[in-house]
Every structure is written in structure tokens, then in C-alpha cells.
Structure 1
Amino acid sequence: MKNPATKKSTATFDILGISTATLCLIHCMIFPLLTILPIGLSDNCIIDVLFAMIGLVIVSKIVMSNASKQIKIILATSMLLVVTNVVLEAIFDIHSVLLFIGGFGMIIGHFLNFKAHRNT
């Protein structure tokens, strides 16, 4: 039988993961539009790195948990895509679609994990 505290902490990580991934996607879609407005905003990778670090912590907790192998693969692959994109942007100033694919994957993976733990 599963420990109720573990179930609750995993659900908390999933809710935090869904929220963070959604905010990250909103940031990545809206921020480039804001940089073209003459209000003094510039492209800064610090926010991207912050979102990636939060994501790494959350995904590592879920990957180390008793989540299904499919969910672990979805989350780990999505996180790899996000981190790859952040590195490409920070070092080479290359903007790629990897971030959007990884972000959607993170949301889907966390949602599936949340749903799986809620049903057990």
C-alpha cells in the first residue's frame, strides 16, 4: 500500500510542474512579442535558466518516485528538450522549437502523473 504522504507530495510536485511549465510556455510565447515594443525589454536567458532549474528539480523528484516508466520517459525527454533549448539560446543565441515541444511534454507528463496518482 502506498504511503499517503508520498502520494500527496507527488501530487504537489505535479501541480507545481504543470503550473511552472505553463508559465514558462506563456513567458516563451509572449516575451518575444514584448521585446519588439519600445519599452526597454531585452532578451535575457536568466529567466529561462530559472525555469529550467525548477523543472529539473521537479522532474528529478518524479523520476525517482514510483511513477510509471512511460511518465518518466515523457518527463525526462521533455526536460532534456527544454534544457537543450536553454543551452542553445544562452551560448549560441539560437531560438528553437524544442522549448515548446518540451514544455507541452512537461505539461502532459505532469498531468498524466497527477491523474495516475489520483486514481490510485
Structure 2
Amino acid sequence: MKSQITKSLDYLGISSATLCLVHCLVLPFISIIPIGISHNHWIDLLFASIGLFAVVKIVKTNTLRYIKIILLVAMSIILLSIIYTIITHNHTLFLYVGGIGMIVGHVLNFKRHKH
């Protein structure tokens, strides 16, 4: 039962991080078209909140230490990048690094539960 909950959290984390990356990669191209859509850091914060929920729950389980470190570092990078964006209104590429780290961490954790 515990393994099923962790798998669900991994699905949630992978989905959230992937949607966040797609949002961050596609939206700058869409914003070139003059239809009034702009990049909103509050949407990034929403995705980060969902990811943070999954990471906190996974860190409390008996997941391997290196997977916990990957997830915590990736989440920290994402949150710091969003805070930087809110303060300076400049976007950094660190958000993408954190998103990729989240996906990698959740995939590694998911694969560990398959074995």
C-alpha cells in the first residue's frame, strides 16, 4: 500500500514537473504572438507547490538518500529561481535545470519501486 502511494506521488511529481517545463518552454514562443499572453511567475509557483507537496511526502518515506538529495536540490533550485523572478522580473535558466532534476528524481524513484 505504501509503495502505491509513493508511485502516485511520483506520477504527480513527474506530471507537474513536465507540465511546468512545457509551460516554461512553450510560453515564450506564444508570447511573441500579440494576443496578450505573457509569462506569469504565479503559474510557476503553482507548479512548484504541487511538486513541493510530492517531494516532501517522498522525502518522508524510505527512499534512497541520493534520490532524496536530487529531489531536494531540484526543488530548491526551482523555488530560488521563482523567488528571483518575483523580485527582479528576470527569468533564469535555473528553472529548467530544476525541472529536469525533478523529472529525473521522480523517474529514478519510480523505477526503484518497480524492482
Q: TM-score, normalised by structure 1?
A: 0.93
Alpha-carbon shift at residue 117 of structure 1 (Å):
1.1
Task: Tell me the equivalent position of 2:96.
Answer: 100
Structure 2 counterpart of 1:35, one-letter code = S
Mapped to 1, the partners of 2:63 and 2:27 lie a distance apart of 34
* Partner-residue secondary structure (3-state), 1:84: helix
Q: Which ranges of 4 or more aligned residues in structure 1 deviate by more than 2 Å? A: none
Task: Tell me the equivalent position of 2:68.
Answer: 72
- Whether the 8 Å CA contact 2:77–2:98 is kept in 1: the answer is yes
Q: 1:88 aligns with which of 84, 89, 99?
A: 84
Q: 2:3 aligns with which of 7, 10, 18?
A: 7
Verify: 1:110 aligned to 2:106, yes or no.
Answer: yes
Structure 1 counterpart of 2:114, one-letter code = R
- Whether the 8 Å CA contact 2:27–2:38 is kept in 1: the answer is no
Structure 2 counterpart of 1:76, one-letter code = L
Task: Tell me the equivalent position of 2:32.
Answer: 36
Alpha-carbon shift at residue 43 of structure 1 (Å):
2.6
Calculate percent identity across the aligned residue pairs.
47
Question: Which structure 2 residue ranges, 5 or more long, are not aligned?
Answer: none
* Partner-residue secondary structure (3-state), 1:109: helix
Aligned residues: 115
For the aligned residue pairs, the C-alpha RMSD in angstroms reads 0.8
**CA offsets 1:18-48 (integer angstroms, 9 cap, x no match):** 1111110000000111111111112321111
